[in-house]
Amino acid sequence: MFEWLGGVLDAWLNIFLQPSPWGTVYLGLLFQGLAITFFVALVTWAIAFVLGSLIGIARTLPYKPLRFVTTAYVEIFRSVPLLVQLFLWFFVVPELLPQAWGTWIKNLESGSMLTAIIGLGCFTSVRIAEQVRAAILSISLGMKNASTALGMTRAQTYRYILLPMGYRIMLPPLTSEFLNNLKNTSTIFTIGVMDLMGRTSEMMEFTFKAYEPLFFATFCYLIINLLVVCAARFLEGMAAIPGFNAAR
């Protein structure tokens, strides 16, 4: 039994430790891909968080034109599949820009990565905007009326009442959006970014082995998920206000 297991492990190590055409061993390439996945996931998350919060808040404000524009943004980016959005950013947008700009973008060394970050950032921002809006609207009107009664301005009401409560309510759904965003990074290899998925399919193509690279990627995504879920639990505990159940 152990001998058999040892043999299997040995065979696997040999596959991952064989040199690739890039000079490094395949395992090294996979880790490079993992680093790219992390990088893109974090940067897109930061963009999406800021953009999504602004849009989500804007959609709760009583300004008609602002609401119209932000609602249109949300509906459009929510209704087009991510893959199609990525292709639009990558293949279409540079052609529609003035030629000099288009050429500049196309000649950027990490053009694919930049496109992927913008595309995925916008895609996720819509989801966050919806969470922010839902969270703010779920806070009872009594709270908002109480703050108005205390003489708070609208800005103060957001700053001191609605947003602190809203983000606490949002923590669990935000965690799952973070994980969704991370999982969605796996589509950016279709526009040439060598993330974990890109390196995995590259290894499948170069070595003609399917299961071993897929197994490695599966293992990585699983571990990242566990880590994020644990971190989120910790954060929820830290952020909880005694007396208020953040999750309601």
Partner 1 sequence: MFENFDFAVISANLGRFFLEGMGFTLRLTFFAGLAGFLLGTSLTLVRMASVPFVSRAIAVYINFIRSMPLVLLIFWFNFLLPGIWQEIIGSPYPITFNPLVLAFWTFTLFEAAYFAEIMRAGILSIPQGQAAAGRALGLTGLQVSLFVVLPQAFKNVLPVLLTQLIALFQDTTLVYIIGLKDFFRVIHIAAVRDGRQVELFIFAAVVYCIISYCSSLAVKKLQKPQQELWA
Partner 2 sequence: MDTRMRPSALGFVAVFAALSAFAVPATAQDLTGTLKKVKDTGSISLGHRESSLPFSYYDDNQKVVGYAYELCDKLADAVQAELKMDKLERKLVAVTSANRIPLLTSGGIDLECGSTTNNLERQKEVSFTLTHYVTATRFVSKKANNYKSLDDLKGKTIVSTAGTSNIKLVTGLNTERNLGMTIIPAKDHADAFLMVETDRAAAFAMDDILIASLVAVSKTPDAYVISEEALSVEPYGSMLRKDDPAFKKVIDDAMLAMFKDGTIEKLYDKWFMNPIPPKNVTLNVPISAQFKKVIANPTDSGDPKDYAD
Q: Does 192 bind partner 2 (CB under 8 A)?
A: yes
Q: Which residues pair with 25 in a beta bridge?
A: 19
Q: What is the DSSP string of 131-192?
A: HHHHHHHHS-HHHHHHHHHTT--HHHIIIIIIHHHHHHHHHHHHHHHHHHHHHHGGGGGGGT
Which C-beta is closer to partner 1: that of 19 or that of 180? 180
Interacting residues with partner 2 between 19 and 48 (CB under 8 A): 20-23
Report the candidate in 158, 176, 182 with the shortest Cα–Cα distance to residue 247: 176
The residue from 179, 232, 240, 246 that contacts partner 1 (CB under 8 A) is 179
Contact criterion met (CB below 8 Å) for 135 and 169: yes
Q: How many CB atoms lie within 10 A of CB 186?
A: 16
- Using CB under 8 A, pick the residue from 32, 69, 88, 111 that binds partner 2: 111
Q: Looking at beta carbons only, is 90 or 178 nearer to partner 2?
A: 90
Calpha distance 202→216 (Å, rounded): 13
Type of residue numbered 131: Q
- Distance separating alpha carbons of residues 5 and 18, to the nearest angstrom: 20
CB of residue 86 vs partner 2: minimum separation in angstroms?
A: 13
Site for partner 1 in 186-225 (CB under 8 A): 186-187, 189-190, 197, 200-201, 204, 210-211, 214, 217-218, 221-222, 225
Q: Which parts of 145-174 interact with partner 2 (CB under 8 A)?
A: none
* Interacting residues with partner 1 (CB under 8 A): 60-62, 75-76, 78-85, 87-88, 91-92, 95-96, 136-137, 141, 144, 154, 179, 183-187, 189-190, 197, 200-201, 204, 210-211, 214, 217-218, 221-222, 225
* Interacting residues with partner 2 (CB under 8 A): 20-23, 91, 94-95, 103, 106-107, 109, 111-112, 190, 192, 198, 201-202, 204-206, 208, 210
